[in-house]
């Protein structure tokens, strides 16, 4: 493993709904906190990558942060927008171009956002018009098929959601901080069989910023640098089963998560068995279950027993989504992938408070997945 790039400062604006606070302000607040954490000021930053899908062009924030003339590049890349800002920051430092920069991601989505308009201009939208083109349907179909194929039960779906809200109740920056039992999860409205309302995350708001530095200079900024071992994004290949597809190929191929995961492990020179803690995309609770296997942490079907045995709880063998994941935090698309990294930095520093994973975790993993069939993975080490 090479130690080229370190995370030396982290900042977050709480997730949820914040009337009167723009998405960009939430990003700016996150940057100020990250700079404070690294003991630097905005003046010291040589470059920035900013990601937002629905809350404006991130570089416009220089007018409130300070017109220092730094290189500021905007990134929009579907559900991997935040992750892509981080990868770009990582690679810029690795390349030797700069020593100190920030990755920021923020967003602000209305209730029920993520409505999809399909069809060509000037003709009737037959896809959405017929009652398809809903991302929730894709998630329902994928987990329903997976449950049939690998013997996963609805009780496991409820366990994942219940764990998310329990972990969220220990996270002061989470949106949903009320714990729900498995029965309450199962009895909430059935949205897209077999998934109920409490098994789905919601569009939300929030911002996260991460200050990155050349690893050999990291101790100037922090006594607990966290090293970014790899950061990878992959798009889909022919035959994979993705959201919003009016047709699929007869051939079946693994999704982009499998490719991104393999590439990230290879770049870091380690394997899934070396990971102490993982934040996995949980757009709905079935996604977390499928992503446990797609990221290499178990065989397909083993999740049923792992969940029954509590292996993914904060005190388990492989804690998953310790901050409550998307289910408890909501999904501001530009910030979501960076939230996962923020949580892992806290955990590796030993600063996660009530939800701290015991026995000083050393290696941590993040994974985002989303439209239009894109996946991003990072591996961090203390």
Query: Can you tell me which of 67, 69, 121, 123 binds another protein, judged by CB under 8 A?
Result: 123
CB atoms within 10 A of CB 63: 9
Q: Would you call 30 helix, strand, or coil by DSSP? A: helix
Which residue, 113 or 263, is less far from another protein as judged by CB?
A: 113
Task: For the segment 196-255, give every residue that binds another protein (CB under 8 A).
Answer: 238, 241, 245-250
- Which DSSP letter does residue 331 get? B
- Binder to another protein among 124, 172, 273, 358 (CB under 8 A)? 124
Cα–Cα distance, 2 to 367 (Å, whole number): 21
Q: Candidates 20-28, 125-133, 208-216, 277-285: pick the segment binding another protein (CB under 8 A).
A: 125-133
Looking at beta carbons only, is 67 or 250 nearer to another protein? Answer: 250
Using rule CB under 8 A, residue 119 touches another protein: yes
The Cα–Cα gap between 225 and 38 comes to 10
CA 27, chain centre distance (Å): 16
Q: How far is the CB of 190 from another protein (least distance, A)?
A: 5
The widest CA-to-CA distance across the chain, in whole angstroms, is 60
> What residues contact 183, with CB distance under 8 A and at least 6 apart?
158
Q: Does 134 bind another protein (CB under 8 A)?
A: yes
Cα–Cα nearest to 327, from 29, 11, 15: 15
Cβ-contact 175, 336 below 8 angstroms:
no
Q: Taking contact as CB under 8 A, which single stretch among the options 30-38, 51-59, 99-107, 127-135 is the one that binds another protein?
A: 127-135
Q: Which residues of 295-316 are buried (b: 16+ CB within 10 A; e: fewer)?
A: bbbbeeeebbebbeeebbbbee
Please count the residues of this chain forming the interface with another protein, following the rule CB under 8 A: 41
- Smallest distance from another protein to CB 193, Å: 4
Q: What is the CA radius of gyration of the chain?
A: 20
Least separation in angstroms between residue 203's CB and another protein is 13
Minimal distance, residue 149 CB to another protein, in Å: 9
- Spatial CA neighbour of 254 closest among 237, 266, 267, 271: 237
Among 26, 88, 173, 192, binds another protein (CB under 8 A): 192
Q: Of 25-33, 98-106, 143-151, 307-315, which part binds another protein (CB under 8 A)? A: 143-151
Among 5, 7, 191, 320, indicate the residue that binds another protein (CB under 8 A): 191
Q: Report the residue number, 135 or 321, with the smaller CB distance to another protein.
A: 135
Other C-beta atoms closer than 10 Å to the C-beta of 253 total 14
Q: Which is nearer to another protein, 142 or 229 (CB)?
A: 142
Site residues (CB under 8 A) for another protein, limited to 144-173: 144-145, 148
Query: 10 Å Cβ neighbour count for 95?
Result: 9
Strand 47-51 and strand 100-108: the pairing is parallel
Dist CA 279 CA 296 (whole Å): 13
Q: How far is CA 94 from CA 122, 231, 238, 324, 339, in A?
A: 47, 12, 31, 32, 22
Q: Which residue has the tokens 């490719």?
A: 259
Please identify which residue in 110, 125, 299, 309 interacts with another protein, judged by CB under 8 A. 125
**63, 111, 130, 223: residue in contact with another protein (rule CB under 8 A):** 130
Question: Would strands 47-51 and 71-75 be described as parallel, antiparallel, or unpaired?
Answer: parallel
- Residues 97-116: x/- map of binding to another protein (CB under 8 A)? ---------------x--xx
Terminal C-alpha separation, the chain:
12
Minimum distance between the CB of residue 110 and another protein, rounded to whole angstroms?
A: 12
State the nearest-atom distance from the C-beta of 22 to another protein, in Å. 25
Among 62, 73, 76, 132, binds another protein (CB under 8 A): 132
Q: Which is nearer to another protein, 128 or 272 (CB)?
A: 128
Q: How far is the CB of 265 from another protein (least distance, A)?
A: 28
Of residues 71 and 137, the one with the C-beta less far from another protein: 137
- Please report, as ranges, the residues that interact with another protein according to CB under 8 A: 112, 115-120, 123-134, 137, 140-142, 144-145, 148, 189-195, 238, 241, 245-250
């Amino acid at each position: 493993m090479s130690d080229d790039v370190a995370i030396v400062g982290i900042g977050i604006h709480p997730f949820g709904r914040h009337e009167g606070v723009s998405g960009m302000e939430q990003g700016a607040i996150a940057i100020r906190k990250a700079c404070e954490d690294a003991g630097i000021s905005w003046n010291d930053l040589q470059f920035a990558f900013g990601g937002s899908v629905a809350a404006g062009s991130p570089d416009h924030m220089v007018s409130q942060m300070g017109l220092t003339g730094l290189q500021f590049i905007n990134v929009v890349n579907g559900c991997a927008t935040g992750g892509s800002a981080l990868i770009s920051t990582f690679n810029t430092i690795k390349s030797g171009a700069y020593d100190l920069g920030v990755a920021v991601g923020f967003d602000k989505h209305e209730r029920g956002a993520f409505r999809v308009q399909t069809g060509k201009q000037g003709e009737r939208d037959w896809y959405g018009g017929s009652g398809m083109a809903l991302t929730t349907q894709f998630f329902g179909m994928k987990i329903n098929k997976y449950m049939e194929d690998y013997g996963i039960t609805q009780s496991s779906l409820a366990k994942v959601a219940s764990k998310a809200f329990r972990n969220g109740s220990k996270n002061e920056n989470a949106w949903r901080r009320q714990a729900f039992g498995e029965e309450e999860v199962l009895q909430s409205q059935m949205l897209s069989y077999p998934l109920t309302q409490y098994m789905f995350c919601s569009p939300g708001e929030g911002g996260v910023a991460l200050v990155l530095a050349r690893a050999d200079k990291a101790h100037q900024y922090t006594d607990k640098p966290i090293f970014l071992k790899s950061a990878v994004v992959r798009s889909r290949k022919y035959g994979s089963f993705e959201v919003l597809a009016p047709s699929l190929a007869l051939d079946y191929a693994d999704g982009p998560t499998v490719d991104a995961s393999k590439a990230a492990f290879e770049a870091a020179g380690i394997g899934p068995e070396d990971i102490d803690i993982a934040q996995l995309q949980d757009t709905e609770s079935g996604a977390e279950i499928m992503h446990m296997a797609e990221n290499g942490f178990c065989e397909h079907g083993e999740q049923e027993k792992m969940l029954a045995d509590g292996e993914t709880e904060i005190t388990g063998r492989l804690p998953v989504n310790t901050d409550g994941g998307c289910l408890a935090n909501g999904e501001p698309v530009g910030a979501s992938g960076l939230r996962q990294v923020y949580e892992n930095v806290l955990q590796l520093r030993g600063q996660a408070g009530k939800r701290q994973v015991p026995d000083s975790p050393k290696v941590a993993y993040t994974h985002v997945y989303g439209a239009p069939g894109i996946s991003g993975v990072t591996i961090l080490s203390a």
